[in-house]
Structure 1
Amino acid sequence: MVRVLIPGAMLGVVRYVVDVKKSDERLLGYFDKTVKEIGSRYEMSEIAEIPHIRETREAYKALGKSPSQYRNAAEAMLRRIVKGNGLYKINNVVEINNLISIRTGYSVGSYDKHALKGEIELRPAPAGERYEGIGKSNLNIENLPVLFDEEGAFGNPTSDSKRAMIQEGKREVMSVIYAFHLEQEELEKWLAEYRKLLEQFTDATAIQTEIIMTSK
């Protein structure tokens, strides 16, 4: 179960079973084409005003976190692309995760469900909270909107923890789209696109999608 405890937020959740492996030529071709198209679409000054990036930045400010010092993942990736630095290629699940993110401006995280325990909820991290991020050691996550399970924090729109990172092999995955608006139709559209990409480029089975609305 996933709960949302931040006003103005909702989560698009995709659950599936998949063989995580290096991306094949079809996926890499689509990935590179998308990166190239996006790199020619924006100027650096426009990135922070992309609607879903702007909404995430405003959520960070409301929680007391600097959106410029702790850029959300969608913004950080788009800045790399516009600078001409491209994106790292990791595996088929991460590539699809990042494709959705750069196309929409939503930050997206993908997590190995077997690394998670008990109920999951999105809430602001308390003062002093830190974790080992992927490529970012001892990350200060205080005041970020963070996913917690029974063992503690494991994901947020800026950088996920190493604990639930996606590694190669047969995995049960939970991918989460972090949304800071209440336009359910928009999120439904991108959940459908997420499913489409999984079906097109991976062997994913048992795909389920769900929108978790803000707690009242």
Structure 2
Amino acid sequence: MIDVHISQQLREKIPAAVLGCIQCCVSVEKSPAELLGEIDVFVQRAQEKLKLEDIITQTHIADTRIGYKALGKDPHRYRNSCEAMMRRVLQGKGLYHINNVVEVNNLVSLTSGFSLGTYDVQKLSPPIFWAPAPQGSHYQGIGKDQINTEFLPALFDEEGAFGNPTSDSVKAMITPETREILLCVYSFSGEDGLASAIRQAKELLERYCNARNIQERIIK
């Protein structure tokens, strides 16, 4: 597996920070109806059972928000991606459909409460470090302008930051040309619930993305 580490600075600020990683080869395609159906079922159930104010009480979302505060980042202004998706779901705005790999990423995030990021391995220059982004840092987000990444817990390779639990950069985004991925589950809750999320991600990648040569690792 690609070399991934958690920086000492992040460990000191957030002792419960843990990464769950899957690296595998995939076939990136339009999402099949079955996968979109699984997402629709989740959306319907969430809309029936939850209210907006319930979102931030969910364990892993709450822990992520606490982690952001520990780094000096406002979790209200810079919502983690799971929280942001849940808000879209409960507001009836729907989710963007991109491709099978991205949809698997999002489904695991929604059902687990963790924020996830999935990256094109061929676009990365290891080693990878998960660390607080420095003051004044930014990058171009996917479908967005420049994102202020200052103090966010970001993934870095030798060329700089490329992802974080709020929004990823275009650098290693998943495209139809992607052949190998690194899926990262961002946990601020230690290993609680992480093995289950990794197992779900592996099963969905195998079912919907022709995943093969699968490697798993928990970094703590």
TM-score bracket, normalised by the shorter chain, equals: over 0.9
Alignment of 1:43-192 (within 5 A): 43-182=51-190, 184=191, 186-192=193-199
Q: Secondary structure at the match of 2:69?
A: helix
Q: Secondary structure at the match of 2:154?
A: strand
Shift of 1:41: 2.2
Distance 2:185 2:203 in 1: 15
| RMSD, matched Cα | 1.0
**Normalising to structure 1: TM-score of the pair?**
0.95
Distance 1:40 1:115 in 2: 40
More moved, 171-180 vs 185-194: 185-194
Distance 2:192 2:81 in 1: 23
In structure 2, the residue matched to 1:12 is 20
Shift of 1:169: 3.2
The aligned length equals 212
In structure 2, the residue matched to 1:209 is 216
Distance 2:34 2:61 in 1: 28
Distance 1:81 1:35 in 2: 6
**Normalising to structure 2: TM-score of the pair?**
0.94
Q: Secondary structure at the match of 2:106?
A: helix
Is contact 1:10-1:212 (8 Å) kept?
Answer: yes
Distance 1:180 1:152 in 2: 22
Runs of at least 4 residues off by over 4 Å: none
Distance 1:149 1:89 in 2: 28
In structure 1, the residue matched to 2:33 is 25
Gaps of 5+ in 2: none
Percent identity of paired positions between Structure 1 and Structure 2: 46
Distance 2:45 2:55 in 1: 15
Aligned-partner residue type, residue 205 of structure 1: R
Aligned-partner residue type, residue 206 of structure 2: E
Is contact 1:21-1:169 (8 Å) kept?
Answer: no
Counterpart of 1:3 (choices 2, 5, 24) is 5
Q: Secondary structure at the match of 2:49?
A: coil
Gaps of 5+ in 1: none
In structure 1, the residue matched to 2:204 is 197
Aligned-partner residue type, residue 114 of structure 1: Q
Distance 1:63 1:121 in 2: 16
Higher strand proportion: 1
